[in-house]
Amino acid sequence: MSTTAFDLTGRTAVVTGANTGIGQGIAVALAEAGADIAAVGRSEATETADKVRALGRRCELISADLSSIAPVTEVIESVVDKFGRLDILVNNAGIIRREDALDFSEEDWDAVMDTNLKSLFFLSQAAARHMVSWASQDGKRGKIINIASMLTFQGGIRVPSYTASKSGVGGLTKLMANEWAPRGINANAIAPGYIATNNTAALQADETRNRQILERIPEQRWGNPADIGGAAVFLASRAADYVQGHILAVDGGWLAR
């Protein structure tokens, strides 16, 4: 029997968009804490799988395009079939489209909202339907962790659908907590700050913009995927059983400045 509230041994975690960056950091951190991983996404997360398996944990790759809700039921059924149950869901998959609000297209609006908000909700719904079938029976709780954003709190510029979707993620996280807490599920979110990944490489390489970003961050550095991974382990663990509907900013102090 584990002596630490952070131990995830024997638990199965689904991580969407786990092939790189924040998703990979979360998957590896959960595996380090003892969880087995189902990596879900359009691109095969082979590098992530190698890292997880090197830790002695199991990793299964599940191909799914979450730009629509079409694969949602199949994803959850596949996870349960392969692992026997699903304990933790991390909704990390997301996209962004940039354009002035005056010129933003309906196509770019729908694409971002469908992936970042609609699929997130219906995947959570499918996972929760499975979790309530066993939650609390063995002293464990289901855990849903949504990846929010600094734009859950701020408006941003030139990303209207991304801002709307991430604001929606914050609201849905609270709604899930309100409805599902009594049924043995914790629903929380992580709002990453500026994280050094391939998606932010251009910003890091822009001398002026990079300096402006660092000047606002009290930590005076970019975050890395492992920083987000640590927060995910906490929210996925027994240590966070009394944390509900919370949006945890992991931003080096960005919002405090």
CA 31/CA 26 separation, integer angstroms: 9
Active-site residue, selected from the candidate residues 22, 108, 112, 162:
162
Q: What is the pLDDT of residue 165?
A: 98
Q: What is the pLDDT of residue 1?
A: 47
pLDDT at 192 over 90: yes
Give 203's contacts (C-beta < 8 A, 6+ positions apart): 194, 209, 210, 213
For 117-156, the pLDDT digits (tens) are 999 999 999 999 999 988 767 778 999 999 999 999 999 9
List the alpha helices (DSSP H) in 181-247: 201-205, 207-216, 225-236
Residue 242 a catalytic site member: no
Alpha carbon 210 to chain centroid, angstroms: 25
Q: DSSP string covering 19-69, please?
A: TSHHHHHHHHHHHHTT-EEEEEESS--HHHHHHHHHTT--EEEEE--TTSS
- The pTM for the full model equals 0.96
Which 8-state DSSP code applies to residue 102?
G
pLDDT at 2 over 70: no
List the alpha helices (DSSP H) in 44-200: 46-54, 72-83, 106-113, 119-131, 160-180
Q: Is 105 exposed, middle or buried (0-12, 13-18, 19+ CB in 10 A)?
A: exposed
For 72-104, the pLDDT digits (tens) are 999 999 999 999 999 999 999 999 999 999 999
Amino acid identity for residue 196 in this structure: A
The two structure tokens encoding residue 111: 């694409």
Neighbours of 247 (CB within 10 A): 18
Which domains occur in the chain, in start order? 12-251 (3.40.50.720)
- Look at residues 244, 227, 226 and name the one whose alpha carbon lies nearest to residue 235: 244
